[in-house]
Amino acid sequence: MSVEQTIERVKRMVDESSKIAILLGVGTFIESGGENIWSSRECYRLEEKYNKTPDEMISVEFYSARRDKFFEFYKNEILLDDLEPCSLYYDIKKLQDTGKVRTVITQNTDGLHNKAGIRDVIELHGNINNNWCPRCHRNYEAQYLKNAKAVPLCEDCNTSIRPGVRLFGENIANNLMTQAVNACEGADLILALGTNMYDNMVKFCTGTYTGDRLVLITKEEHYTDKFADIVIHDKVCNVLPKIFPTL
Ligand SMILES: [Zn+2]
């Protein structure tokens, strides 16, 4: 089947569906200009700079033991304030407005989906704008943390603010996992965007999906691509306008 025919087929599937589950992987963040800190090049750069790997730094242990260093890394490498969502996010928002989307699930913590106005997103790894004070529970946006000189402290009670992203060593909340699995299980079409079938989120969320409409759209080829029902290798930004109804 040619690429054009595959795209036609997926377009028909979108037309026919009313309970679409959309999974957003790191590729959608990269298409918006983000750097993947898990790529080998970035891991190497960060290890050179901080003498630790990113997963060591974004961990419960490091957060507890070296909070100043944790926030140095977190502010410089995770809180990127100039990032804007690329067109794929706005295409998803428009599709969501038609009522066809049952759920959007992401492991990205960048908040780009919020900026584009996508609603009710299941954020498996949290959100950089969802920071809170563990003592008085006041919430803080990313910019507040970014502006803090060292460890960001709560304005009300001077307690150090807990970042809104999941740290290594912490579990994903059970209720979020259940919601994500249920949404995919009952979906009439799954669009996995900017990810691959080896990814934990994709494996986990689609594990109980028994349909034959799991469509993977991603720029990067991967040896597990064969586990998707349909694969389109291209940037997500390029593909969505071709498969979504003209809105
Ligand atoms: Zn407080």
Give the distance (Å) from ligand 1 centre to CA of residue 165: 18
Q: Are residues 219 and 157 in the same domain?
A: no
Quote the pTM value.
0.94
Cα 128 to averaged position of ligand 1 atoms, centre (Å): 18
Query: Are residues 191 and 153 part of one domain?
Result: no
Query: Could you tell me the distance, in angstroms and rounded to a whole number, from the CA of residue 56 to the centre of ligand 1?
Result: 27
Name the residue range of residue 140's domain.
129-162
- 101 and 25 in a common domain: yes
Is residue 99 domain-shared with residue 24, that is, in the same domain? yes
Residues 117 and 28 in one domain: yes
Q: Looking at the 3D structure of the chain, how many domains does it have?
A: 3
Distance 139 CA to ligand 1 centre (A): 9
The Å distance, Cα 109 to ligand 1 centre, comes to 23
Assess whether 113 and 234 both reside in one domain: yes
Shared domain for 90 and 21, answered yes or no, is yes
Measured in Å, residue 157 CA sits from the centre of ligand 1 at 4
Instruction: Give the residues of the chain that fall short of pLDDT 70.
Output: 247
Q: Do 14 and 46 reside in the same domain of the chain?
A: no
pLDDT tens-digit map of 1-36 = 899 999 999 999 999 999 999 999 999 999 999 988
Residue 220 sits in the same domain as residue 116: yes
| Residue in 30, 29, 11 with CA at minimum distance from that of residue 20 | 11
Residue 206 and residue 116 share a domain: yes
CATH number at residue 8: 3.40.50.1220
pLDDT, residue 247, reads: 64
What is the whole-number distance in angstroms between the Cα of residue 126 and the centre of ligand 1?
20
Residue 27 structure tokens: 């590729």
Whether residue 70 sits in one domain with residue 181? no
Domain check: are 220 and 239 in the same one? Answer: yes
pLDDT at 88: 98
Q: Residue 177 phi/psi, 5° resolution? A: -65, -45
Query: Could you tell me which residues come within 8 angstroms of residue 111 by beta carbon, excluding any fewer than 6 positions away?
Result: 127, 128, 129, 142
Q: DSSP code of 158?
A: -
